[in-house]
Amino acid sequence: MEEFDTSGLIQEYLDDARAHLDKLDSSLLDMEKDAAQGDLDVELVSDLLGALHTLKGNSGMMGFSGLQKYVHHLESVFKSVLEGRTAMGDELLQGLFEAAAVLRETLDQIEKDPKTPPPMADRIEDLDTMASAAAETGAHGGAASGPKDDASGPSVRPSATGRSAPARADSFKYIGAKSSLLKVDFERLDHLLNLAGELVIHRTKLAQVDMKFKELYGDREMSSELSEAASLINKATSDLQEAIMKVRMLPIRQVFQRFPRMVRDLSRERGKEVELTFKGEATELDKTVIDEIGEPLLHLIRNAVDHGIETPAERIEKRKSPVGEVKLTAAQEGNHIIITVSDDGAGISTERLKAKAEKVYSHETVEAMGRDNLLELIYEPGFSTAAEVTQVSGRGVGLDVVKKNVARLGGLVEVDSVPDKGTTFTIKLPLTLAIISALMVGSGRELYALPLSSVVESIRIEPSDIHTINSREVVRLRDRVLPLVRLSSLFGVPPSGNGREGRSYVVVVGRAEKKVGLVVDRLMGRQEIVIKALDEYVGECEGIAGATILGDGSVVLILDVAGLVERNLLKADRKDQAARGGTA
């Protein structure tokens, strides 16, 4: 597998490393005060070891092996102090202060030329010499407090007299250094976004007032001024909303970079050769989505390596490269992000799917299933075609989790597979889960919000356009039959008198083959809405993703389109299977 490119993480690494060095300096100052009184704060040293351990791990991840070894040696010095083998005396403290200076100097050089980190062998030797001398001094009764220290740590070069070397003019230039990054508690950003959401609601209210004012007073001067003010507030609100959303956006690279090590270890364990490649890792999406998408991708990539990619011998027999490829891609399409996980492995065998399905469904039902319906079975809880159960897969749990988690994020997941060519999973997600564009629809006296990301199109139909197949209402839409779901029936809302007695509207939702027509009485237009989660005491409401507040203060439910589509298709399949079973 190719080495992972860490060039895009340099600045983040440097900022984090310097924060750890700030902690080192602060801790050394506290230790110096304690040593003067003959004390040693064990908890302080333990916390500092945690910071150094993180710095060591990050340095190794970035490929700075020399710096990693240096920090490892410095860790050993503090461990020796903690264990009582080295005394925290003046000489050791001065050496540790100089070690901190060496670390800062090394980071400065890395910042100038990340591809050529400075050699650290001499500095490590100096540090070991200093630590050994400090341990020997303590052993012969040198003034010190607390535990002793082991000869392994980064390089520090004390002066020949044993006193501290004079500070160079630029020794403390780091104090005035500026960082391009600002760490902010995510709850503060959430609060800021909530305030922007309230502003969006009030902007909508102002737009409604402006329309009513025009109706009453026409194009008078005051009406024009109000309209202009409303337009300016609208623009400022949109700019503020966009700016806040950009602050919350993070590159999906942060998720992608978690997988190379896992793929490497898993492929070796399974006796396979697998190359993991990335495309579009700079694509950005909301942090809330970033936090949630990791687990579904974990299951898909693990499944590809464990079950999709063949062993080198099997691949050679099929005239393939012995090295299998798992490709992870991300791209933005409008207000959505499309993530694909594809492999060039064995693909999903429909024959094995049928064999497994016949343990659950009748033979006639399975034979009547199309290829797409068979592929959908892999998402069923407990359904797996794996020949053996491994530590990571084969129990039929992973893909079920993928589907549930993606649906919870308001997204869709699809699978396409070609035997001996490979399998591709496609995940479609909204860029953000906070403020979205929605199509407002009316059914009876109620209003509902449909996320615009799930809306394909809307059409107007006559009662004569609706037909019934297997006790289900359908309508012909160009070259396909579209199943219908009436919102009035779904939520028990009294009809408004339209329906079969008059014209209705059908909002087509879903993607690819998974489409359903929602029958509504009115289309109220597009509107930006702020998603509000339902309180826990309300419980889980099937078909409802949340709620929003309109400019007039009314509460409108946001429909869970993915859930509605899946539930309708599941009911349809069961009815079709029952009908076939009755005629078999």
Q: How does pLDDT run across 328-357, given as a tens digit for each residue?
A: 999 988 777 899 999 999 998 888 888 888
**Beta-bridge mates of residue 556:** 548
- Architecture per CATH, 264-430: 2-Layer Sandwich (3.30)
pLDDT over 90 for what percent of the chain?
Answer: 18
Task: Work out the number of other CB atoms within 10 angstroms of the CB of residue 93.
Answer: 19
Q: How confident is the model at residue 513 (pLDDT cuts 50, 70, 90)?
A: low
Alpha helices by DSSP H, 249-376: 253-256, 259-269, 287-303, 312-317, 350-357, 363-368, 371-376
Q: Where are the domains of the chain?
A: 7-176, 186-250, 264-430, 435-583
Is 0.95 surpassed by the pTM of this model? no
Which residue, chain included where needed, has tokens 């004079």? 166
Mean pLDDT of 269-284: 90
- Mean predicted lDDT score pLDDT of the chain: 79
Q: Does 73 or 380 have the greater pLDDT score?
A: 73
Domain 186-250 has CATH 1.10.287: yes
d(CA 136, CA 152): 14
pLDDT at 72: 92
* pLDDT higher than 80, residue 261: no
* pLDDT higher than 50, residue 169: no
pLDDT tens-digit map of 125-155: 998 898 888 777 655 554 444 443 443 433 3
Mean pLDDT of 244-253: 81
d(CA 258, CA 273): 19
Q: Does 444 or 388 have the greater pLDDT score?
A: 444
Alpha helices by DSSP H, 113-177: 121-139
- Architecture per CATH, 7-176: Up-down Bundle (1.20)
- With a CB cutoff of 8 Å and minimum separation 6, the contacts of 449 are 438, 439, 440, 441, 527, 529, 548, 556, 557, 558, 559
Mean pLDDT of 364-389: 72
Q: Answer yes or no: are the C-beta atoms of 568 and 515 closer than 8 Å.
A: no
Mean pLDDT of 414-425: 91
- CA 262, 266, 268, 269 torsion: positive or negative? positive
d(CA 52, CA 74): 8
The CA–CA distances, whole Å, from 86 to 46, 89, 123, 262 equal 15, 9, 20, 39
pLDDT at 313: 94
The alpha carbons of the chain give a radius of gyration, in whole angstroms, of 32
Selecting from 2.30.30.40, 2.60.120.380, 2.40.37.20, 3.90.1560.10, what CATH number does the domain 435-583 have? 2.30.30.40
Q: How confident is the model at residue 63 (pLDDT cuts 50, 70, 90)?
A: confident
- Pick the range with the lowest mean pLDDT from 52-56, 158-162, 176-180: 158-162
